[in-house]
Amino acid sequence: MIGAGQIGQRHALHASNYWQLVAVCDLDLEKAKALANSYGAMAVADINSLLSLASSIDLVAICTPNGLHAAHAMACMQAGMHVLVEKPMAISLVDCKRLMEIATQTGKEIFTVVQNRFNPPVAALKVAIAEGRLGKIQNIQINCFWNRPAAYYQDSWHGSKEMDGGILFTQFSHFIDLLYWLFGPVKTVQTLAQNFQHQSMIAGEDAGAVLMQMESGAIASLHYSVNSYEKNAEGSLTVLAEKGTVKIGGEYLNTIAYQSLESGPLLTSESNNSANQYGTYQGSMSNHGMVYANLVAALQGRETYYATAEEALKTVEIIERIHQSINLQS
């Protein structure tokens, strides 16, 4: 495990159901020791020390700041280990392509984490689209109205251009992953964005609106913000199609707000999972247990991994295009 913060702790919890945690690496050695001691692992303070243990490690979970994902994943694969990279895979398209090249050269797997695909309503919508139950998709609307207080950015890498990359990478890349996974490539992008409340905290916008035409011909919009008053308000996906209308809502794409389909309602399983809790704020749905179950099955050759590196690259590519559109508009 590289990174002993809150997301690293969540990974350790679920990984321990399948593997032995060998080592925890964090620049804050005391933090690394606290996590390592819970699982009988060793603690190291630098990545070179971790790489020296490569012969006894099958996979490294990379839970570091966004801007370090690429460098850490490259080093681990070159040392002979598979990697599981938290979202985003990297914060530049160039780094994503280099990661995939190194995976091919070394014969090691690069797995990514986009756990919202496991949300029961999202999974049901994916099946319905694949079966053609919605017919031609016409309109897609994604709303991401979350809250990130000033405390989130204090004494932290959050908000910096080099380590964070912006709120589309850190908060909302899951939603962009679903846009591509469910509806395919994006053809054109137009964006309006502003920094309303976090001028001294975020190197970039804290709110934006994106209008996209998909390659399929569908019109898609994305409204995103970290300025929702006091708490997260909504994470939703609405689809208007030839044979039906569906809105997946709640704060985290975890409920069906309404639906009307010619072929009958989407069938969804119950989920007892809640959102990831991080003290002063909440993240996406806590589906990391299913991520690890699928990861183990993929490494054992029993299943295909649910998310490809190519799809992770497409998410980064779409975010880069949105950022480029912001710069053109400004």
Residue 317 in domain: no
Residue 314 in domain: no
Structure confidence at residue 281 (pLDDT): 46
Q: Using one digit for the tens of pLDDT, what is the confidence trace for 32-48?
A: 999 999 999 999 999 99
Residue 201 in domain: yes
Q: Which two tokens stand for residue 24?
A: 């925890």
Give the domain range for residue 48.
6-112
From 20, 22, 28, 25, select the one nearest 3 (Cα to Cα). Answer: 25
- Cα torsion 295, 296, 301, 303: sign: negative
Looking at the structure, tell me whether residues 148 and 251 fall in a common domain: yes
Question: Which of the two residues, 15 and 272, has the higher pLDDT score?
Answer: 15
- Residue 247: pLDDT over 60: yes
Residue 297 in domain: no
Looking at the structure, tell me whether residues 29 and 146 fall in a common domain: no
Rounded Cα distance between 18 and 7, Å, is: 18
Rounded Cα distance between 147 and 150, Å, is: 10
> Which of 68, 85, 112 is the endpoint of a domain?
112
Residue 292 in domain: no
Q: Which residues pair with 277 in a beta bridge?
A: 282
Looking at the structure, tell me whether residues 79 and 150 fall in a common domain: no
Global confidence as pTM: 0.94
Looking at the structure, tell me whether residues 80 and 126 fall in a common domain: no
Residue 307 in domain: no
What's the total number of domains in the chain?
A: 2
φ, ψ of residue 124 in degrees (nearest 5): -65, -40
Looking at the structure, tell me whether residues 107 and 82 fall in a common domain: yes
CATH number of the CATH domain containing 75: 3.40.50.720
Looking at the structure, tell me whether residues 185 and 54 fall in a common domain: no
Looking at the structure, tell me whether residues 175 and 223 fall in a common domain: yes
Q: What is the mean pLDDT of residues 291-309?
A: 97
Q: Using one digit for the tens of pLDDT, what is the confidence trace for 213-224?
A: 999 999 999 999
> Which of 283, 306, 322 is the endpoint of a domain?
283
Q: Using one digit for the tens of pLDDT, what is the confidence trace for 47-96?
A: 999 999 999 999 999 999 999 999 999 999 999 999 999 999 999 999 99
From 113, 167, 168, 90, select the one nearest 287 (Cα to Cα). Answer: 113
Looking at the structure, tell me whether residues 103 and 161 fall in a common domain: no
Q: Which residues of 186-221 are buried (b: 16+ CB within 10 A; e: fewer)?
A: beebebebebeebeebbebbbbbebebebeeebebe
Residue 288 in domain: no
Residue 302 in domain: no
Looking at the structure, tell me whether residues 149 and 271 fall in a common domain: yes
Looking at the structure, tell me whether residues 33 and 120 fall in a common domain: no
Q: What is the mean pLDDT of residues 117-130?
A: 96
Structure confidence at residue 250 (pLDDT): 86
Structure confidence at residue 327 (pLDDT): 80
Looking at the structure, tell me whether residues 124 and 193 fall in a common domain: yes
CATH number of the CATH domain containing 161: 3.30.360.10
- Residue 271: pLDDT over 70: no
Residue type, 83: V
> Which of 89, 112, 135 is the endpoint of a domain?
112
Structure confidence at residue 272 (pLDDT): 54
Looking at the structure, tell me whether residues 78 and 219 fall in a common domain: no
